[in-house]
Amino acid sequence: MFQRVAIIGGGAAAATLLSELLGRRPPRMLHLDWYTGGGALGRGVAYGTRSPRHLLNVRAASMSMFAGKPRGFLDFVQRDDPSIAGTDFLPRFRYGDYLEAEVAHALQQGALHGHDVHVIPLAVDALVPERDKVTVICGERARGAGAAVLALGALPPQPLGGVSADALASERYVVDPWPLLAGAGADPAPRKVVLIGLGLTAVDVLLELSAQWPRAEFTAISHHGRLPEAHPNTAAAPYGDNAALVESMREAPDIRRWLSLVREAARQGADWRTVVDSLRPHTPGLWNELPLPQRARFMRHLRWAWERARHRMSPAVCRTIAALEQTGRLQRRRGHVQAVDLAGDALQLTLTRAGALQTMRADLVIQATGLNLDVNRTDHPLMRQLVTNAHVTPDPLGLGVQADGDGRLRHDDQHWPNLFAIGSLLRGSRWESIAMPEISQQARALADRLLAD
């Protein structure tokens, strides 16, 4: 058992691990330092939104923090409103309420079980892992731990290549949409808004800003110009023949073959979404069996299609976005953004589509290109330090850091015995590692690992 553990990160993954650890009764007292980076405990970016327009993209019944208590979130919300069903898509701020309540409960339990817990609302600047301890550095202060866990979520977004320094300085180019959505607004409200990206982040931006700025018109650009798929109104029965599909995929770790197997299963299944969802628990195993060139191929050609099929909009969100399109307030365009420059008091975008150059003007451009997990291309101080000092090994496809199956981080072709990660940074070793159902499984396994004698 590691008696002194440091958890670094203040979002849902850290909160879940903390709750798993403090809910147990290990043979010895646990010293836990939780470095949260500041902000509301547990909410992070995803559940820090206060907007009722921002809904969970997973049904309430599947959003428990705890792998061993599957009704956790549902029980929490039904205490206030028994009419809520497990199939509902609830506002994300309600999930934030749940996280905060569970953190408070875990801290109480920790005190009751005699654990020594410090909640430190600071960002960690550096880590020095050694074979028998990890030194955690926060400003002037250094504290030792037997083991440390990185629960940093996604890294801060970086501007796309081709965005000029003038465009960035003009404040008309928004690299990170969340502070804008949190109510900073813009005065006067822009009329022509361009979004780069068409995934779930872009959908959140559209839901919020179309309401805040009723006269604004939106153009959303992506390589394929397609929105995420939608969940069906009623939850479909699970796909039945999953074992045979997984077995066939295992036998032929080739991305083209997998695509045809999934398509074939979807043709036979009642609803293609159930086939996609049925692969979820098997994805880390399948991903691990896929050779690196095949993973790279997936990233180049299929990632966009998989993401839009797997990360879907709730039916209500889908209806709102469809209404924006029908009233002409939202247009979708296919293209690849090559450059964004300042042009007078607006921005000019240069795009290519099928080899042809096109330009368009916008009052405001918002980058909504999804999670940044490329540890080689980040200004996150802790991650830069870990990469520069070769304490971690970047994933070759820019999907976080290399890790073993139990989350131990790799360096120099070995693993650290005492440096772990949970959540998004493990995407390169698991692919399916960013949403709560997977994070709760990881938290349970990691708590077992950290407390094992």
Supply the minimum distance, in Å, between the C-beta of residue 155 and ligand FAD: 8
Cβ atoms within 10 Å, residue 326? 9
Per-residue buried b or exposed e for 175-192, using 16+ beta carbons within 10 Å of the residue's own CB: bbbbebbeeeebeeebeb
Q: How far is the CB of 266 from ligand FAD (least distance, A)?
A: 23
- Looking at the Cβ atoms of 84 and 259, the one nearer to ligand FAD is 84
Task: Name the maximum alpha-carbon separation found in the chain.
Answer: 67
For ligand FAD, give the closer residue by CB, 18 or 194.
Answer: 18
Q: How many residues does the chain have?
A: 453
Residues 365, 194 contacting (CB under 8 angstroms): yes
Minimum distance of ligand FAD from residue 336's CB (angstroms):
24
* Nearest residue (CB) to ligand FAD, 151 versus 364: 151
Task: Classify residue 390 as left (phi > 0), alpha (psi -120 to 50) or beta.
Answer: left
> Between 279 and 340, whose beta carbon lies closer to ligand FAD?
279
- Using the Cα atoms of residue 175, residue 179, residue 182 and residue 186 in order, give the sign of their dihedral: negative
| C-beta of 212 vs 331, nearer to ligand FAD | 212
Q: How far is the CB of 291 from ligand FAD (least distance, A)?
A: 28
Give, to the nearest 10 degrees, the angle between helix 315-326 and helix 200-212.
Answer: 60
Q: Which residues bind ligand FAD (CB under 6 A)?
A: 8-14, 35-37, 39, 44-46, 56-58, 123-124, 151-154, 204, 382, 423-424, 434-436
**Which C-beta is closer to ligand FAD: that of 112 or that of 182?**
182
Within a 10 A sphere around the Cβ of 323, how many other Cβ atoms?
12
Give the residue with the Cβ less far from ligand FAD, 149 or 364: 149
In the complex, the smallest distance separating the C-beta of residue 346 from ligand FAD, rounded to whole angstroms, is 28
Residue closer to ligand FAD, measured from CB, 8 or 209: 8
Q: Which is nearer to ligand FAD, 177 or 269 (CB)?
A: 177
DSSP 318: H
Residue from 399, 447, 391 nearest 419 by CA: 391
Smallest CA-to-CA distance from 336 within 224, 192, 211, 175 is with 224
Q: Quick one: residue 293, left, alpha or beta (phi over 0 = left, psi -120 to 50 = alpha)?
A: alpha
DSSP state at residue 255: H
Minimum distance, C-beta of residue 42 to ligand FAD, in the bound complex (Å): 8
End-to-end C-alpha distance for the chain, whole angstroms: 5
Secondary structure percentages of the chain, helix, strand, coil, to 5: 40, 20, 40
For residue 27, whether the previous peptide bond is cis, meaning omega lies within 30 degrees of 0, is no
**Shortest Å distance, C-beta 193 to ligand FAD:** 19
Min dist. Cβ of residue 446 to ligand FAD (A): 13
Question: Minimum CB separation from ligand FAD for residue 9, in Å?
Answer: 3
Q: Is 453 helix (H, G, I), strand (E, B) or coil?
A: coil
Q: Taking the complex as a whole, how short is the minimal distance between the CB of residue 381 and ligand FAD, in angstroms?
A: 7
Distance CA 384, CA 26 (A): 35
Nearer to ligand FAD, 45 or 324 (CB): 45
